[in-house]
Structure 1
Amino acid sequence: MGLFDGLRRGDVQFDSGDASTNAIELTKRRAQISLTKQGAASGHLRVNLSWRMRTSDIGGSQRESLLRHPFRALRPPEVVGHSQSMVNVDLDLGCLYELQDGSKGVVQPLGGYYGDANAAPYVKLSGDDRFGSGSGETMYINLDHRDSIKRLLVFVYIYDQTPAFDRTHASVTLYPSSGPRIEVHLDERQPQARSCAVVMIEKVKDEIVVRREAKFVYGFQAELDRLYGWGLQWGRGYKSKIDR
Protein backbone atom coordinates (compact mmCIF):
# COMPACT_ATOMS: atom_id res chain seq x y z
CA MET A 1 0.00 0.00 0.00
CA GLY A 2 1.36 3.43 -0.94
CA LEU A 3 2.02 6.25 1.48
CA PHE A 4 -1.25 8.03 0.72
CA ASP A 5 -3.40 4.99 -0.06
CA GLY A 6 -6.55 4.36 1.88
CA LEU A 7 -7.58 7.95 2.64
CA ARG A 8 -11.31 7.92 3.20
CA ARG A 9 -13.39 10.53 1.39
CA GLY A 10 -16.72 10.31 3.21
CA ASP A 11 -18.81 13.40 3.91
CA VAL A 12 -18.42 14.82 7.41
CA GLN A 13 -20.52 17.32 9.32
CA PHE A 14 -18.45 19.94 11.13
CA ASP A 15 -19.01 22.43 13.92
CA SER A 16 -16.71 25.45 13.99
CA GLY A 17 -17.97 27.59 16.86
CA ASP A 18 -18.72 31.30 16.70
CA ALA A 19 -15.62 33.49 16.62
CA SER A 20 -16.88 36.22 14.33
CA THR A 21 -16.60 39.07 16.85
CA ASN A 22 -12.99 38.72 17.99
CA ALA A 23 -9.62 37.93 16.42
CA ILE A 24 -5.99 37.38 17.35
CA GLU A 25 -3.38 38.16 14.70
CA LEU A 26 -0.14 36.22 14.81
CA THR A 27 2.80 38.46 13.95
CA LYS A 28 6.59 38.33 14.18
CA ARG A 29 6.40 39.81 17.68
CA ARG A 30 3.52 37.60 18.80
CA ALA A 31 4.18 34.44 16.86
CA GLN A 32 2.36 31.72 18.78
CA ILE A 33 -0.67 30.92 20.88
CA SER A 34 -1.71 27.93 22.97
CA LEU A 35 -5.12 26.56 22.05
CA THR A 36 -5.05 24.58 25.29
CA LYS A 37 -4.72 27.72 27.41
CA GLN A 38 -7.51 29.30 25.36
CA GLY A 39 -9.76 26.33 26.16
CA ALA A 40 -10.00 25.58 22.43
CA ALA A 41 -8.00 22.35 22.04
CA SER A 42 -11.00 20.18 21.19
CA GLY A 43 -13.64 19.93 18.48
CA HIS A 44 -13.00 20.85 14.87
CA LEU A 45 -10.47 23.57 14.12
CA ARG A 46 -11.51 25.22 10.85
CA VAL A 47 -8.69 26.63 8.71
CA ASN A 48 -9.64 28.98 5.88
CA LEU A 49 -7.53 30.40 3.05
CA SER A 50 -8.82 33.46 1.22
CA TRP A 51 -7.18 35.87 -1.18
CA ARG A 52 -7.85 38.76 -3.52
CA MET A 53 -5.86 40.62 -6.14
CA ARG A 54 -3.93 43.70 -5.07
CA THR A 55 -5.75 46.80 -6.34
CA SER A 56 -2.51 48.22 -7.76
CA ASP A 57 -2.43 45.32 -10.24
CA ILE A 58 -6.05 45.72 -11.28
CA GLY A 59 -6.08 49.41 -12.12
CA GLY A 60 -2.46 50.54 -12.18
CA SER A 61 -1.94 50.52 -15.95
CA GLN A 62 -5.21 52.39 -16.57
CA ARG A 63 -4.29 55.17 -14.11
CA GLU A 64 -0.87 55.61 -15.74
CA SER A 65 -2.47 55.78 -19.18
CA LEU A 66 -4.89 58.54 -18.10
CA LEU A 67 -2.06 60.63 -16.69
CA ARG A 68 -0.31 60.57 -20.06
CA HIS A 69 -3.51 60.86 -22.15
CA PRO A 70 -6.16 62.69 -20.05
CA PHE A 71 -8.64 62.98 -22.96
CA ARG A 72 -9.08 59.20 -22.97
CA ALA A 73 -11.33 59.68 -19.95
CA LEU A 74 -13.94 61.15 -22.33
CA ARG A 75 -14.13 57.98 -24.41
CA PRO A 76 -16.83 55.36 -23.74
CA PRO A 77 -15.54 52.69 -21.36
CA GLU A 78 -14.12 49.57 -22.95
CA VAL A 79 -15.13 46.13 -21.83
CA VAL A 80 -11.86 44.48 -20.89
CA GLY A 81 -11.51 40.91 -19.60
CA HIS A 82 -9.16 39.89 -16.84
CA SER A 83 -5.55 39.61 -17.89
CA GLN A 84 -3.89 36.20 -17.96
CA SER A 85 -1.88 37.08 -14.84
CA MET A 86 -5.07 37.74 -12.88
CA VAL A 87 -7.03 34.70 -13.99
CA ASN A 88 -4.24 32.22 -13.33
CA VAL A 89 -3.66 33.05 -9.67
CA ASP A 90 -4.74 29.76 -8.09
CA LEU A 91 -3.66 29.48 -4.45
CA ASP A 92 -4.11 26.10 -2.80
CA LEU A 93 -4.29 25.16 0.87
CA GLY A 94 -2.41 22.10 2.09
CA CYS A 95 -1.16 20.41 5.24
CA LEU A 96 1.83 18.21 5.97
CA TYR A 97 1.04 15.92 8.88
CA GLU A 98 3.02 13.75 11.26
CA LEU A 99 1.19 11.60 13.79
CA GLN A 100 2.41 10.19 17.07
CA ASP A 101 2.62 6.68 15.59
CA GLY A 102 5.18 7.94 13.05
CA SER A 103 2.91 8.05 10.00
CA LYS A 104 3.42 11.04 7.71
CA GLY A 105 1.71 12.43 4.63
CA VAL A 106 0.01 15.38 3.00
CA VAL A 107 -3.52 16.71 2.60
CA GLN A 108 -3.92 18.86 -0.52
CA PRO A 109 -6.06 19.25 -3.68
CA LEU A 110 -3.18 18.15 -5.90
CA GLY A 111 -3.53 14.42 -6.40
CA GLY A 112 -6.89 14.35 -4.63
CA TYR A 113 -5.48 13.80 -1.13
CA TYR A 114 -8.42 15.34 0.74
CA GLY A 115 -7.82 13.47 3.99
CA ASP A 116 -10.28 12.36 6.68
CA ALA A 117 -11.47 14.11 9.83
CA ASN A 118 -12.72 11.04 11.70
CA ALA A 119 -9.76 8.76 11.00
CA ALA A 120 -6.05 9.32 10.44
CA PRO A 121 -4.76 11.88 9.58
CA TYR A 122 -7.69 13.71 11.31
CA VAL A 123 -7.37 16.50 8.72
CA LYS A 124 -9.83 17.01 5.87
CA LEU A 125 -9.86 19.50 3.01
CA SER A 126 -13.39 20.48 2.03
CA GLY A 127 -12.68 21.37 -1.59
CA ASP A 128 -10.59 23.33 -4.07
CA ASP A 129 -11.32 27.01 -4.82
CA ARG A 130 -9.58 27.87 -8.09
CA PHE A 131 -10.82 31.44 -8.47
CA GLY A 132 -10.36 33.11 -5.07
CA SER A 133 -14.07 33.26 -4.23
CA GLY A 134 -15.32 34.83 -1.02
CA SER A 135 -15.44 31.51 0.82
CA GLY A 136 -11.90 30.51 -0.19
CA GLU A 137 -10.58 27.05 0.68
CA THR A 138 -11.33 25.36 3.99
CA MET A 139 -9.66 22.59 5.96
CA TYR A 140 -10.87 20.91 9.16
CA ILE A 141 -8.64 19.49 11.90
CA ASN A 142 -10.25 17.18 14.44
CA LEU A 143 -8.66 18.17 17.75
CA ASP A 144 -10.64 15.52 19.60
CA HIS A 145 -7.79 13.30 18.34
CA ARG A 146 -5.08 15.73 19.48
CA ASP A 147 -3.27 12.96 21.37
CA SER A 148 -2.66 11.25 18.02
CA ILE A 149 -1.22 14.38 16.38
CA LYS A 150 2.47 15.27 16.62
CA ARG A 151 2.71 18.22 14.22
CA LEU A 152 0.80 19.76 11.32
CA LEU A 153 2.28 22.28 8.89
CA VAL A 154 -0.39 24.33 7.12
CA PHE A 155 0.95 25.72 3.86
CA VAL A 156 -0.16 27.58 0.74
CA TYR A 157 1.19 27.00 -2.75
CA ILE A 158 0.55 28.22 -6.29
CA TYR A 159 -0.67 25.43 -8.53
CA ASP A 160 0.15 26.86 -11.96
CA GLN A 161 3.82 27.47 -10.95
CA THR A 162 3.67 31.20 -11.79
CA PRO A 163 4.95 33.26 -8.81
CA ALA A 164 2.07 35.48 -7.69
CA PHE A 165 2.29 36.14 -3.96
CA ASP A 166 3.28 39.74 -4.70
CA ARG A 167 0.03 40.21 -6.66
CA THR A 168 -2.35 38.93 -3.99
CA HIS A 169 -3.55 39.71 -0.50
CA ALA A 170 -3.75 36.26 1.09
CA SER A 171 -4.87 35.39 4.61
CA VAL A 172 -5.15 32.16 6.56
CA THR A 173 -7.66 32.23 9.41
CA LEU A 174 -8.10 29.56 12.08
CA TYR A 175 -11.50 29.21 13.75
CA PRO A 176 -11.29 27.16 16.96
CA SER A 177 -14.38 25.48 18.40
CA SER A 178 -14.48 28.30 20.97
CA GLY A 179 -12.78 31.62 21.52
CA PRO A 180 -11.38 34.16 19.04
CA ARG A 181 -10.30 33.36 15.52
CA ILE A 182 -6.57 33.39 14.73
CA GLU A 183 -5.31 35.26 11.66
CA VAL A 184 -2.08 35.14 9.67
CA HIS A 185 -1.71 37.64 6.82
CA LEU A 186 0.67 36.84 3.97
CA ASP A 187 1.37 40.43 2.92
CA GLU A 188 5.13 40.25 2.42
CA ARG A 189 6.25 41.07 -1.11
CA GLN A 190 7.81 37.81 -2.32
CA PRO A 191 7.64 38.02 -6.14
CA GLN A 192 9.59 34.80 -6.78
CA ALA A 193 7.99 32.61 -4.11
CA ARG A 194 5.75 29.70 -5.11
CA SER A 195 4.94 28.28 -1.66
CA CYS A 196 4.59 29.50 1.90
CA ALA A 197 4.65 27.65 5.22
CA VAL A 198 1.94 29.50 7.15
CA VAL A 199 1.50 27.95 10.61
CA MET A 200 2.76 24.96 12.55
CA ILE A 201 0.27 23.25 14.84
CA GLU A 202 1.99 20.87 17.22
CA LYS A 203 1.73 19.19 20.55
CA VAL A 204 4.25 20.69 22.97
CA LYS A 205 4.22 18.72 26.21
CA ASP A 206 0.51 18.67 27.02
CA GLU A 207 -0.49 21.72 24.97
CA ILE A 208 -1.65 22.25 21.39
CA VAL A 209 0.31 25.26 20.15
CA VAL A 210 -0.21 27.28 16.95
CA ARG A 211 2.96 29.03 15.75
CA ARG A 212 3.25 31.51 12.90
CA GLU A 213 5.83 30.53 10.28
CA ALA A 214 5.16 32.74 7.22
CA LYS A 215 8.20 31.31 5.43
CA PHE A 216 8.16 31.79 1.66
CA VAL A 217 10.15 29.43 -0.56
CA TYR A 218 10.89 29.41 -4.28
CA GLY A 219 9.96 25.76 -4.73
CA PHE A 220 6.94 23.66 -3.86
CA GLN A 221 5.99 20.94 -1.37
CA ALA A 222 9.32 19.13 -1.69
CA GLU A 223 11.19 22.25 -0.60
CA LEU A 224 8.88 22.74 2.38
CA ASP A 225 9.46 19.07 3.20
CA ARG A 226 13.24 19.56 3.23
CA LEU A 227 12.97 22.78 5.23
CA TYR A 228 11.00 21.08 8.02
CA GLY A 229 12.49 17.59 7.76
CA TRP A 230 9.40 15.60 6.79
CA GLY A 231 11.21 13.03 4.64
CA LEU A 232 8.48 12.24 2.09
CA GLN A 233 8.99 11.23 -1.54
CA TRP A 234 7.51 13.69 -4.05
CA GLY A 235 6.48 13.40 -7.69
CA ARG A 236 4.67 15.67 -10.10
CA GLY A 237 0.90 15.78 -9.60
CA TYR A 238 -2.08 17.21 -11.44
CA LYS A 239 -5.55 18.44 -10.64
CA SER A 240 -8.68 17.04 -12.21
CA LYS A 241 -10.45 19.14 -14.83
CA ILE A 242 -12.88 21.77 -13.62
CA ASP A 243 -16.53 20.79 -13.81
CA ARG A 244 -18.47 23.44 -15.66
Structure 2
Amino acid sequence: MGRLVLAEEGTFIPPGAKDFDLPAIFGGVTKPMVLIVLSIIIILAFFLLATRKLSVVPSKFQFAAESVYDFGRNNIARDQIGSKEFKPFVPLILALFTFTLVNNIFGIIPIIQFPTFSHIGFPLALAVLVIFPVYHIAGIRKFGLGRYLKKSVIPPGIPKPVYLLLTPIEIFLKFFMDPITLAIRVFAAMFAGHLILLVFTLGGEYLLLEAGPALKPVSIISFAMAIAMTFLEALIQVLQAYIFALLSAGYIGMSLAEDH
Protein backbone atom coordinates (compact mmCIF):
# COMPACT_ATOMS: atom_id res chain seq x y z
CA MET A 1 0.00 0.00 0.00
CA GLY A 2 1.48 3.31 -1.05
CA ARG A 3 1.86 6.32 1.20
CA LEU A 4 0.31 9.70 0.40
CA VAL A 5 2.53 12.49 1.73
CA LEU A 6 0.40 15.41 2.91
CA ALA A 7 2.74 17.43 5.06
CA GLU A 8 6.25 17.59 6.41
CA GLU A 9 5.01 16.47 9.82
CA GLY A 10 4.12 12.97 8.63
CA THR A 11 2.46 10.80 6.07
CA PHE A 12 -1.08 9.60 5.56
CA ILE A 13 -1.49 5.90 4.87
CA PRO A 14 -4.76 5.59 2.94
CA PRO A 15 -7.15 2.82 3.99
CA GLY A 16 -7.34 -0.30 1.86
CA ALA A 17 -8.46 -3.91 1.81
CA LYS A 18 -6.39 -4.65 4.92
CA ASP A 19 -8.79 -2.50 6.96
CA PHE A 20 -11.60 -4.97 6.25
CA ASP A 21 -9.67 -7.88 7.80
CA LEU A 22 -10.77 -7.42 11.38
CA PRO A 23 -9.07 -9.38 14.16
CA ALA A 24 -10.94 -12.09 16.04
CA ILE A 25 -12.88 -10.93 19.08
CA PHE A 26 -12.63 -14.32 20.81
CA GLY A 27 -12.02 -17.91 19.75
CA GLY A 28 -11.84 -17.11 16.06
CA VAL A 29 -15.16 -15.19 16.10
CA THR A 30 -14.88 -11.91 14.21
CA LYS A 31 -16.99 -8.76 14.20
CA PRO A 32 -18.73 -9.63 10.89
CA MET A 33 -19.78 -12.99 12.33
CA VAL A 34 -21.28 -11.27 15.36
CA LEU A 35 -23.07 -8.78 13.12
CA ILE A 36 -24.64 -11.60 11.08
CA VAL A 37 -26.14 -13.09 14.27
CA LEU A 38 -27.15 -9.63 15.51
CA SER A 39 -28.97 -8.90 12.23
CA ILE A 40 -31.02 -12.09 12.59
CA ILE A 41 -31.95 -11.16 16.16
CA ILE A 42 -32.96 -7.63 15.06
CA ILE A 43 -35.15 -8.89 12.21
CA LEU A 44 -36.83 -11.55 14.34
CA ALA A 45 -37.45 -9.09 17.18
CA PHE A 46 -38.86 -6.51 14.77
CA PHE A 47 -41.45 -8.81 13.22
CA LEU A 48 -42.33 -10.63 16.45
CA LEU A 49 -42.91 -7.40 18.36
CA ALA A 50 -44.79 -5.81 15.47
CA THR A 51 -47.16 -8.76 15.11
CA ARG A 52 -47.62 -9.52 18.80
CA LYS A 53 -50.88 -7.56 19.06
CA LEU A 54 -52.35 -7.33 15.59
CA SER A 55 -55.29 -4.99 15.12
CA VAL A 56 -57.48 -3.80 12.27
CA VAL A 57 -56.22 -0.28 12.86
CA PRO A 58 -52.48 -0.89 12.99
CA SER A 59 -50.08 0.85 15.29
CA LYS A 60 -47.10 2.63 13.78
CA PHE A 61 -44.92 -0.38 14.54
CA GLN A 62 -47.39 -2.81 12.97
CA PHE A 63 -47.80 -0.49 9.96
CA ALA A 64 -44.03 -0.42 9.45
CA ALA A 65 -43.82 -4.23 9.52
CA GLU A 66 -46.79 -4.57 7.16
CA SER A 67 -45.22 -2.07 4.77
CA VAL A 68 -41.97 -4.03 4.66
CA TYR A 69 -43.91 -7.27 4.11
CA ASP A 70 -46.09 -5.77 1.38
CA PHE A 71 -43.04 -4.36 -0.37
CA GLY A 72 -41.27 -7.73 -0.37
CA ARG A 73 -44.43 -9.61 -1.32
CA ASN A 74 -45.91 -7.38 -4.00
CA ASN A 75 -43.11 -5.20 -5.34
CA ILE A 76 -40.45 -7.88 -5.45
CA ALA A 77 -41.77 -11.45 -5.29
CA ARG A 78 -45.03 -11.06 -7.22
CA ASP A 79 -43.61 -8.71 -9.84
CA GLN A 80 -40.61 -10.91 -10.61
CA ILE A 81 -41.97 -14.44 -10.14
CA GLY A 82 -45.52 -13.93 -11.34
CA SER A 83 -48.92 -13.71 -9.67
CA LYS A 84 -49.62 -17.44 -10.05
CA GLU A 85 -46.48 -18.90 -8.51
CA PHE A 86 -44.95 -16.28 -6.22
CA LYS A 87 -46.61 -17.11 -2.87
CA PRO A 88 -44.35 -20.01 -1.76
CA PHE A 89 -41.30 -17.79 -2.28
CA VAL A 90 -42.49 -14.72 -0.36
CA PRO A 91 -40.82 -15.74 2.96
CA LEU A 92 -37.50 -16.30 1.20
CA ILE A 93 -37.58 -13.02 -0.71
CA LEU A 94 -38.66 -11.06 2.37
CA ALA A 95 -35.89 -12.69 4.41
CA LEU A 96 -33.29 -11.91 1.74
CA PHE A 97 -34.37 -8.27 1.52
CA THR A 98 -34.47 -7.60 5.27
CA PHE A 99 -31.32 -9.60 5.99
CA THR A 100 -29.32 -7.79 3.32
CA LEU A 101 -30.76 -4.42 4.32
CA VAL A 102 -29.88 -4.71 8.01
CA ASN A 103 -26.36 -5.97 7.29
CA ASN A 104 -25.79 -3.15 4.81
CA ILE A 105 -27.14 -0.47 7.15
CA PHE A 106 -24.67 -1.59 9.82
CA GLY A 107 -22.10 0.35 7.78
CA ILE A 108 -23.47 3.72 8.92
CA ILE A 109 -24.60 2.83 12.45
CA PRO A 110 -22.37 4.55 15.03
CA ILE A 111 -20.01 2.23 16.92
CA ILE A 112 -20.84 -0.70 14.61
CA GLN A 113 -19.85 1.08 11.36
CA PHE A 114 -19.16 -2.00 9.29
CA PRO A 115 -21.29 -3.32 6.41
CA THR A 116 -21.21 -7.10 6.80
CA PHE A 117 -21.60 -7.73 3.08
CA SER A 118 -18.31 -5.95 2.41
CA HIS A 119 -16.91 -9.46 3.08
CA ILE A 120 -17.56 -11.41 -0.12
CA GLY A 121 -18.11 -14.69 1.74
CA PHE A 122 -21.50 -13.66 3.15
CA PRO A 123 -23.33 -12.68 -0.06
CA LEU A 124 -21.59 -15.52 -1.90
CA ALA A 125 -22.84 -18.05 0.66
CA LEU A 126 -26.38 -16.71 0.27
CA ALA A 127 -26.18 -16.94 -3.52
CA VAL A 128 -24.53 -20.37 -3.75
CA LEU A 129 -26.12 -22.15 -0.80
CA VAL A 130 -29.60 -20.61 -0.71
CA ILE A 131 -30.75 -18.69 -3.78
CA PHE A 132 -29.48 -20.88 -6.59
CA PRO A 133 -30.47 -24.23 -5.09
CA VAL A 134 -33.99 -22.81 -4.72
CA TYR A 135 -33.79 -21.41 -8.25
CA HIS A 136 -32.85 -24.73 -9.85
CA ILE A 137 -35.02 -26.94 -7.62
CA ALA A 138 -38.08 -24.82 -8.41
CA GLY A 139 -37.49 -25.25 -12.12
CA ILE A 140 -36.82 -28.98 -11.85
CA ARG A 141 -39.96 -29.54 -9.78
CA LYS A 142 -42.08 -27.77 -12.36
CA PHE A 143 -40.59 -29.10 -15.61
CA GLY A 144 -38.67 -32.21 -14.62
CA LEU A 145 -34.89 -32.47 -14.81
CA GLY A 146 -34.59 -33.15 -18.54
CA ARG A 147 -36.98 -30.48 -19.73
CA TYR A 148 -35.59 -27.93 -17.26
CA LEU A 149 -32.01 -28.47 -18.42
CA LYS A 150 -33.09 -28.29 -22.05
CA LYS A 151 -35.04 -25.10 -21.41
CA SER A 152 -32.14 -23.52 -19.53
CA VAL A 153 -29.17 -24.31 -21.75
CA ILE A 154 -30.64 -25.09 -25.19
CA PRO A 155 -32.75 -22.11 -26.25
CA PRO A 156 -35.02 -22.84 -29.21
CA GLY A 157 -34.91 -21.26 -32.65
CA ILE A 158 -31.14 -21.19 -33.09
CA PRO A 159 -29.18 -22.93 -35.91
CA LYS A 160 -27.85 -26.25 -34.65
CA PRO A 161 -24.14 -25.50 -35.23
CA VAL A 162 -24.46 -22.49 -32.91
CA TYR A 163 -25.38 -24.79 -30.02
CA LEU A 164 -21.81 -26.10 -29.98
CA LEU A 165 -20.73 -22.68 -28.75
CA LEU A 166 -23.88 -21.41 -27.04
CA THR A 167 -24.73 -24.41 -24.84
CA PRO A 168 -21.39 -24.49 -22.93
CA ILE A 169 -21.69 -20.73 -22.40
CA GLU A 170 -25.24 -21.11 -21.06
CA ILE A 171 -24.15 -23.91 -18.71
CA PHE A 172 -21.26 -21.80 -17.43
CA LEU A 173 -23.51 -18.79 -16.88
CA LYS A 174 -26.49 -20.56 -15.34
CA PHE A 175 -24.59 -22.84 -12.98
CA PHE A 176 -21.41 -20.90 -12.17
CA MET A 177 -21.34 -17.20 -13.07
CA ASP A 178 -24.87 -16.12 -12.16
CA PRO A 179 -24.49 -16.77 -8.41
CA ILE A 180 -21.02 -15.18 -8.42
CA THR A 181 -22.17 -12.01 -10.18
CA LEU A 182 -25.20 -11.78 -7.89
CA ALA A 183 -22.92 -11.79 -4.85
CA ILE A 184 -20.33 -9.45 -6.37
CA ARG A 185 -22.88 -6.70 -7.00
CA VAL A 186 -23.74 -6.14 -3.36
CA PHE A 187 -20.21 -6.92 -2.14
CA ALA A 188 -18.56 -4.40 -4.47
CA ALA A 189 -21.02 -1.65 -3.56
CA MET A 190 -20.58 -2.19 0.19
CA PHE A 191 -16.80 -2.52 -0.04
CA ALA A 192 -16.34 0.58 -2.19
CA GLY A 193 -18.79 2.70 -0.19
CA HIS A 194 -17.21 1.84 3.15
CA LEU A 195 -13.75 2.46 1.74
CA ILE A 196 -14.76 5.93 0.54
CA LEU A 197 -16.13 6.77 4.00
CA LEU A 198 -12.86 5.61 5.55
CA VAL A 199 -10.83 7.78 3.19
CA PHE A 200 -12.71 10.98 4.00
CA THR A 201 -13.05 10.28 7.72
CA LEU A 202 -9.45 9.22 8.36
CA GLY A 203 -8.16 11.83 5.93
CA GLY A 204 -10.03 14.56 7.79
CA GLU A 205 -8.71 13.29 11.10
CA TYR A 206 -5.17 13.31 9.77
CA LEU A 207 -5.49 16.82 8.34
CA LEU A 208 -6.88 18.11 11.63
CA LEU A 209 -4.47 16.43 14.02
CA GLU A 210 -1.28 15.61 12.11
CA ALA A 211 -0.93 17.89 9.08
CA GLY A 212 0.65 21.34 9.06
CA PRO A 213 -1.32 24.48 10.05
CA ALA A 214 -1.98 25.41 6.43
CA LEU A 215 -3.83 22.14 5.81
CA LYS A 216 -5.90 22.00 8.99
CA PRO A 217 -8.81 24.05 7.53
CA VAL A 218 -9.02 21.52 4.68
CA SER A 219 -10.13 18.93 7.25
CA ILE A 220 -13.52 20.68 7.33
CA ILE A 221 -14.03 19.81 3.66
CA SER A 222 -13.00 16.22 4.28
CA PHE A 223 -15.41 15.82 7.19
CA ALA A 224 -18.20 17.50 5.20
CA MET A 225 -17.61 15.03 2.37
CA ALA A 226 -17.70 12.16 4.87
CA ILE A 227 -21.12 13.33 6.10
CA ALA A 228 -22.45 13.78 2.56
CA MET A 229 -21.13 10.37 1.50
CA THR A 230 -22.78 8.80 4.56
CA PHE A 231 -26.21 9.93 3.33
CA LEU A 232 -25.40 8.73 -0.18
CA GLU A 233 -24.16 5.42 1.20
CA ALA A 234 -27.40 4.97 3.15
CA LEU A 235 -29.33 5.30 -0.10
CA ILE A 236 -27.02 2.82 -1.84
CA GLN A 237 -27.32 0.35 1.03
CA VAL A 238 -31.11 0.31 0.76
CA LEU A 239 -30.94 0.16 -3.04
CA GLN A 240 -28.49 -2.75 -3.02
CA ALA A 241 -30.68 -4.74 -0.63
CA TYR A 242 -33.60 -4.18 -2.99
CA ILE A 243 -31.54 -5.15 -6.05
CA PHE A 244 -30.22 -8.29 -4.36
CA ALA A 245 -33.74 -9.47 -3.49
CA LEU A 246 -35.10 -8.33 -6.86
CA LEU A 247 -32.50 -10.27 -8.85
CA SER A 248 -32.97 -13.32 -6.63
CA ALA A 249 -36.69 -13.27 -7.32
CA GLY A 250 -35.95 -12.67 -11.00
CA TYR A 251 -33.81 -15.79 -11.21
CA ILE A 252 -36.58 -17.84 -9.59
CA GLY A 253 -39.07 -16.34 -12.01
CA MET A 254 -36.88 -17.31 -14.96
CA SER A 255 -36.62 -20.88 -13.73
CA LEU A 256 -40.42 -21.11 -13.63
CA ALA A 257 -41.08 -19.36 -16.93
CA GLU A 258 -42.30 -21.46 -19.81
CA ASP A 259 -40.01 -19.84 -22.36
CA HIS A 260 -36.25 -19.42 -22.13
Compute the TM-score of the two structures, normalised by the length of structure 1: 0.24
Greater helix percent: which structure? 2
Larger radius of gyration: 2
Greater strand percent: which structure? 1
